[in-house]
Amino acid sequence: MQELIERAKALLADGTVSRVLGWRATDTPFGPEPAFFESGEELNEFVYNCFCGANLSKYLIESSALEGKTLAFLKPCDTYSFNQLCKEHRIDRGKTYIIGVGCKGKITVERLHELGIKGILDVEDAGDTLTVKTLYGEKSCPYSDAMLERCHACKGKEHRVADEVIGESADTTDTDRFAKVTELEQMTSKERYAFFQAELSKCIRCNACRNVCPVCNCRKCVFDGNAFDSVQKANATEFEEKMFHIIRAFHVAGRCTDCGECSRVCPQGIPLHLLNRKLIKDMDAFYGEYQAGEDTSTVSPLTAYTEHDIEPEAGKGGNE
């Protein structure tokens, strides 16, 4: 971490960049927050640890409008979102300086809670295991048990874009990314409906998923306003909640990098990424494998037309 701080200080000092986007240590040991740093002194609060799951790419949209370059620390998977936003002309690559940071999977305190570890005072990262100091004694668990869902379907240790890379990364994949989607596909439509019904009925329409999503960056969202009944705040009917999430999933289809931020931030623990993954899986099947954000030039299958494109009817079907 010290190396990151020193490098950032040097780039600030020699005028290469005007500000630094990273994570700031806070009073909560497991709650670093995304932050902009504008001086060497401020950088003393910089932190990079196993809790730095937040994808910082989206903050570069606002900093693209500022004077000078912004240095951003991106994990391998964050670089996909970054590329996607460059491709959509929402980030000006020329106003960024990217340092790829090493990542071996990120964890959340929420996972620890789910494992039954409560009253957490401190978490020590001892490589493969976590030692957790709690009000109720010391606990430990395998590192991977506390990892974010997305880390179990890691995109690999390569940064897709970086001006330089500091630190080692590891591919933390230990499950089939589409396993849950396949399981849902094999359900009867009734079972599948029940699954999504149970999950989406928890939605409180807080918009955290939308606001954190890198590719949900419309200047004015259709759900903010009075244009139609399904406005941002009402969760009046079951239909409302599904409509919001389904429309959102369709809107980001072909652009979603599967960064998993939607599921990470949902205060009700809804596995929203499953909607996106289903669309990704179908697109892969229909048009060949495609990973949004892998580079800044490949055209998304949904915006490219080819003579051999699958006919609309082909997508119909499923069980029942």
Partner 1 sequence: MTQRLSREELPRLYAAIAQVADLFLPVKRAGKTNFALWNTQTEVDLDTLKTAKSPKDLFFPQCEPLYTCDWREGNLTVTAQALAERDFVVFGVRGCDLRGLDVLDRVFLSDPVDSFYAARREHGTVIAFACREPEESCFCRTFGVDCAEPGGDVTVWLTDGTLYWRANTPKGQALTDRLDLLGKTDDADEQRLAAEQTAAREIIDRLPYANLFLDGWNGDATEARFASPLWEKLYRPCLACGACTFACPTCQCYDIRDYDTGNGVQRFRCWDSCMYSDFTMMAHGNNRTSQMQRFRQRFMHKLVYFPANNDGMYSCVGCGRCVEQCPSGLNIVKVIKAFEKEAKK
Where do contacts with partner 1 occur on this chain (CB under 8 A)?
26-28, 31-36, 54, 109-110, 114, 118-121, 134-136, 198-199, 201-202, 204-208, 210-212, 224-226, 229, 231-236, 264-265, 267-270
The burial class, CB within 10 Å (0-12 / 13-18 / 19+), for 302 is middle
Of residues 31 and 156, the one with the C-beta less far from partner 1: 31
Nearest approach, Cβ of 131 to partner 1 (angstroms)? 16
Nearest approach, Cβ of 45 to partner 1 (angstroms)? 10
Closest CA to 65 of 47, 37, 92: 92
Which token pair is 62? 């606002």
Nearest approach, Cβ of 18 to partner 1 (angstroms)? 15
Of residues 194 and 314, the one with the C-beta less far from partner 1: 194
Nearest approach, Cβ of 270 to partner 1 (angstroms)? 8
Nearest approach, Cβ of 1 to partner 1 (angstroms)? 17
Of residues 101 and 132, the one with the C-beta less far from partner 1: 132
- The single residue listed with the structure tokens 């740093």 is 37
Q: What is the DSSP string of 235-260?
A: --SHHHHHHHHHHHHHHHTTT-----
DSSP 270: -
Nearest approach, Cβ of 235 to partner 1 (angstroms)? 6
Of residues 87 and 210, the one with the C-beta less far from partner 1: 210
Nearest approach, Cβ of 9 to partner 1 (angstroms)? 19
Alpha helices, DSSP H only, in the chain?
2-13, 59-63, 76-87, 109-114, 149-152, 179-186, 189-200, 208-212, 238-252, 261-265, 273-287
Q: How many CB atoms lie within 10 A of CB 62?
A: 12
CA dist., res. 19 & res. 70, Å (int): 5
CA dist., res. 153 & res. 198, Å (int): 24
Of residues 168 and 238, the one with the C-beta less far from partner 1: 238
Of residues 56 and 283, the one with the C-beta less far from partner 1: 56
CA dist., res. 218 & res. 8, Å (int): 31
Closest CA to 239 of 248, 230, 252: 230
Of residues 189 and 201, the one with the C-beta less far from partner 1: 201
Nearest approach, Cβ of 224 to partner 1 (angstroms)? 6
- For 163, residues 6+ apart whose C-beta sits below 8 A from its C-beta are 97, 98, 99
CA dist., res. 264 & res. 98, Å (int): 23
CA dist., res. 239 & res. 236, Å (int): 8
Nearest approach, Cβ of 68 to partner 1 (angstroms)? 17
Of residues 269 and 318, the one with the C-beta less far from partner 1: 269
Of residues 78 and 199, the one with the C-beta less far from partner 1: 199
